[in-house]
Amino acid sequence: MKEDNREQLIVRHTYKKSNELINAMGKGTALSQKLFAIGMQNITVDDTNNVVATIYGTELRKMFKSSSGSLYEHIEALCDKQIKGATIFDWNLLMKDKENGKIEVHQVVTDASFKNGTLTLRYNNSLTDKIVNLQKDYTVLSLADTLSLKSVYSLRLYEMLKSAYDYRKAITKQSGEQVCDYNLIDLKFELGIINSGGDNKIKNELEKKHPDYAKLEELVEKTGQTKYKEYKIFNRNVLAKAKEELNKKTSLIVDYDPIKSGRKTVGIRFYVDKKDVNGKEVEKEVKINKDEVLDDLIELMHDTFKIKEIREIAEAASYDFDKIKKAYEYMQNYNNDVDVPIAFMKECIKNEYYNSKSKPLKAKNKFNNFEQKTDYDFEELERQLLDN
């Protein structure tokens, strides 16, 4: 009996998800991903071969963090595009079958109903064999990890990297850190940042075994999808934030490096490990891409410093972009003129004067710092003036 209870506990805290669904391209909301995770705890298949997930009020309240009041407004926002803009029905998947040269596009959630405090979701019957009775090619995910994440990009990366980690571990037959590479355009498709937009040229290119990613990038841009086009913006607003959230809230330890072709970033190399049984991170060297930091610093400070000086400041700050940016902003807002900006920056970084709790630098007053002489020989000065 005790073993049965333990088994039920394990089932309640994990769920299976097909690798095909995890690695499919498409877009969705964070809530649609969370509802799928919760719904997998109570699923049936109806007469029309649709998977039906039942989510009870107690589980919904935990997800919405609502201890009192009606759930109706939350559910209404989930389903009505006019209220929130994005709904659970916007979860769409684009699955590539390269071997047979075809692409399938599916709306994942087809119907939803809310009655007596219970939410019922019906999933596309084309996906039934990818949701239930999974015997192989699936990943076991943590329900707690999924529900803890706020960003939809963190959620997608959690699933993708957990799947990749398990696969690489099985292939290499080695525990510890695993490495997985993604083409940058592929990654943006899988995160839902860009999509085919119904463009046949994009779909045709994606169907190829080896797509022309430069061409895909041009085609996508023509559809007006320019969000996070520049790598540094994508890195700062998506990758860096997702990495921080995953490392803080999940069982994974994630790091990454850009893969470059010349100066252009064309892919991302992820380093994925699992925390130990106590949830602590394994100590490892922090990877810093100095070229990326320098590029950002040059853009930030090129009006004030030469490139050689920017590199010197970066070295002094161990390439910590945030520290340098704070010090630079502190210097720009300083009340007095700064005689030697590079020295000012180094002192500011070293002593963290930009931190309000730290003692600020004493402002220089050029007039007060003028050294007055009281022993002038006025007769000699008069003589020199007359000679001139």
Pairing of strands 51-55, 118-123: antiparallel
pLDDT, the chain, mean: 81
Average pLDDT score over residue span 212-232:
88
Chain centroid to CA 223: 24
Structure tokens given for 85:
């803009």
Residue 270: pLDDT above 90? yes
Q: Any idea where the domains of the chain sit in the sequence?
A: 1-146, 149-193+228-286, 288-388
Structure tokens given for 118:
């219970």
Radius of gyration of the chain (CA): 29
Residue 374: pLDDT above 50? no
Q: Compute the CA torsion angle 170, 172, 174, 180 (nearest 10 deg).
A: -90
Examine domains 1-146 and 149-193+228-286 and report if their fold is the same: yes
What are the beta bridge partners of residue 269? Answer: 181, 257
Number of neighbours of residue 140 by Cβ within 10 angstroms = 13
- Of the pLDDT bands very low, low, confident and very high (cuts 50, 70, 90), residue 372 is very low
Number of neighbours of residue 260 by Cβ within 10 angstroms = 14
pLDDT digits (tens, 9 = 90+) for 122-156: 999 999 999 998 888 899 999 889 989 999 999 99
Residue 368: pLDDT above 50? no
Residue 341: pLDDT above 70? yes
DSSP 364: P
CATH number of 1-146: 1.10.10.10
Residue 238: pLDDT above 60? yes
**Distance, CA of 220 to CA of 148 (rounded, Å):** 32
Angle between helices 200-207 and 213-222 (to 10 degrees): 160
Q: Which CATH architecture has domain 149-193+228-286?
A: Orthogonal Bundle (1.10)
pLDDT digits (tens, 9 = 90+) for 306-326: 888 999 999 999 888 889 999
Report angle CA 87, 89, 90 to the nearest 5 degrees.
70
The better pLDDT of the pair 145, 91 is held by 145
The side-by-side arrangement of strands in the sheet containing 102-107 is 25-27, 92-97, 102-107
Q: Look at residue 387 in the predicted model and tell me its pLDDT.
A: 55
Are 254 and 274 in contact by the 8 Å Cβ rule? The answer is no
Q: Name the residue type at position 300.
A: L
Q: What percent of the chain has pLDDT over 90?
A: 30
* Lowest-confidence pick of 7-21, 41-55, 201-215, 246-260: 7-21
pTM above 0.85, yes or no: no
